[in-house]
Amino acid sequence: MDAVLQALADESRRTVLEILRDHPASAGELAAALPIARPGVSRHLRVLREAGLVDVRQDAQRRIYTLRPEALVEVDEWLGPYRRLWESRLDALHTEIARGKKARR
Amino acid sequence: MDAVLQALADESRRTVLEILRDHPASAGELAAALPIARPGVSRHLRVLREAGLVDVRQDAQRRIYTLRPEALVEVDEWLGPYRRLWESRLDALHTEIARGKKARR
DNA sequence: CGGGTACGTAACCACTTAGGTACATTGCTC
DNA sequence: GAGCAATGTACCTAAGTGGTTACGTACCCG
């Protein structure tokens, strides 16, 4: 969990994920899509790899990265207890609005 | 979003949120629950405040912090497109398992 | 085998961050 | 107003992070 959130805290890494959400991509492709140089991207990819957010497969000289969305399940689960809270708040808000409408009649 | 994820990347700050999930707490209480000194906690709280994750209310000398779970809606929304992916993967896995069972008969 | 391609890693620098100690501030109480 | 309690801020230091350039390595192709 910690590794995943740590990885997500950097925008460049989130961008990588967004690209991989569409299709697998080589390290070079990803580097081309980011405003930083290749070695930096390489390190970003390492972080994502170690956090379990991506998989790599080798194709001759190229390394093809693919998304492993399962890793985000952890975040989703962490969110669970908070989700209940904000949902009940939203419910309260809706009730309030409904009451407001009634009162305004 | 960035501010929120940045805040969540630190474990101490997540711990603060977990405490506040149960009940509002003063800065002092939170400091007592963490392994770091009060000034550090104060700074963590500032990050959380600026990310919109907590609210503060003043009660004499004390500052009472309360959770603002709505801020996490952003994370939940960001997760959306990935959730679809991992859910479809899990579906595929279940299908695979079902097929395996059939084959083993 | 020589050369080009696609990566990753090492070394280095600038900047940020987390923690601690010391101090300032605010508000109650006597 | 003096004194104590609760908290935030300033300042310092150690450690981590992101970026770059230079270099090493594996692989295909002629």
The answer, for B22 touching chain A at a CB cutoff of 8 Å, is no
Quick one: pLDDT band at residue A1, thresholds 50, 70, 90?
confident
**Looking at residues A32-60, what average pLDDT do you find?**
95
pLDDT value at A100 more than 80: no
Amino acid in the structure at residue B94: H
Query: CA–C1' span, A86 to C8, in Å?
Result: 44
Contacts 24+ apart (CB under 8 A), A61-64: A62/A26, A62/A27, A62/A28, A63/A26, A63/A27, A64/A24, A64/A25, A64/A26
**Looking at residues A64-74, what average pLDDT do you find?**
96
The answer, for A8 touching chain B at a CB cutoff of 8 Å, is yes
Q: How far apart are CA A11 and CA A78, in angstroms?
A: 21
Measure in Å the smallest separation between the Cα of B87 and chain A Cα atoms.
Answer: 8
| Domain assignments of chain B as residue spans, ordered by start | 2-69, 72-103
Q: How far apart are CA B86 and CA B30, in angstroms?
A: 36
Evaluate whether B61 touches B80 at the Cβ level (below 8 Å).
no
Domain at A2-69: CATH architecture: Orthogonal Bundle (1.10)
**Looking at residues A83-98, what average pLDDT do you find?**
77
The predicted structure's pLDDT at residue B104: 52
Mean pLDDT estimate for chain B: 90
**Looking at residues B51-74, what average pLDDT do you find?**
96
Contact criterion met (CB < 8 Å) for A79 and B81: no
At residue B52, φ and ψ (nearest 5 deg) are: 80, 15
Query: Strand D positions with any atom < 7 Å from protein CB?
Result: 5-10, 17-22, 26-28
pLDDT value at B1 more than 70: yes
pTM: 0.84
